[in-house]
Amino acid sequence: MLAIAAIMFLVAAHRQALSKALASTMVSGCGELASARSLPKRVIVAGRARPHPANALTAPISGKACVWYRVVVWHGGPGHSPRRRYVYSTSDPFSVEDDTGTVHVSGRLVSRFLHDDDIYNGVAADLVEITALAAGRHADALERLERAGVFSFNHRRDVYEITEYRLEQNRAITVLARPQRGRLGVMLTAGVGVCGVASQPLDELFTDARYQAKGTRSMTRGLTYGGGALLAVGLLLQVPTWIAG
């Protein structure tokens, strides 16, 4: 229980840092940032996700046009439930566009931030679409993954559980990241400290991050007190043994 409390403490600290970063980081228009002579250490932009002209993506399982996707495959032998896990995430850059212009975003920023917990429960909930295939052989899906260069599995009689997460084109997105200049122009990347992507407008995002930090801290305190009480009871139960020994 104390170990769980320690993990929850780290989650709460991250959410608290996120709310502080959202409150202290400048908000910029995409075009304004792209043409800026000097770049801030960290910036927030909001707009619509657009594919980079040279990196138009199609998610292999759903066949949907997207700007980023991740495929998670659980794999097991015939007659066994899937046990081994394989993960593939794209790293191709895409763009965020608003009324002022366009700025590029590194696909690695999305891959770094979007863990399973964030997708289902965190501030990035509802940002991605999900296609899930229950455990089965899925020969057609495996063939599509192989054609896309994602995975190649030779054991067609085995059992596979496949989940595809994708950030679709034209999705509303808010990005908190570090801007850098590169061959494509200004690129938003994962820098040191808090960064991330979300679907909510900035005001909602700030409120959600602060609310989650508060809720997680309360849960952490409860687990800590409960774990401490159990530890104390355990020690008290050992006292007669120590005395007898």
Q: What is the pLDDT of residues 67-120, one digit of tens each?
A: 999 999 998 877 666 688 899 999 999 999 999 999 999 999 888 887 665 666
Reported as a single tens digit per residue, the pLDDT across 119-135 is: 666 666 678 999 999 98
Q: Could you tell me the residue ranges of all domains in the chain?
A: 2-233
Three-state DSSP class for residue 208: helix
Which CATH code fits 2-233? 2.40.50.140
| Highest mean pLDDT out of 43-57, 60-74, 79-93, 217-231 | 60-74
Q: Can you list the positions of beta strands (E) in the chain?
A: 26-27, 43-51, 57-58, 65-76, 84-89, 94-98, 101-105, 129-136, 159-168, 172-182, 185-189, 196-198
Q: What is the mean pLDDT of the chain?
A: 78
| H helices, E strands: number in the chain | 6, 12
Residue 173 has pLDDT above 70, yes or no: yes
- Reference 118, options 34, 225, 212; nearest CA is 212
The pTM for the full model equals 0.75
pLDDT of residue 233: 45
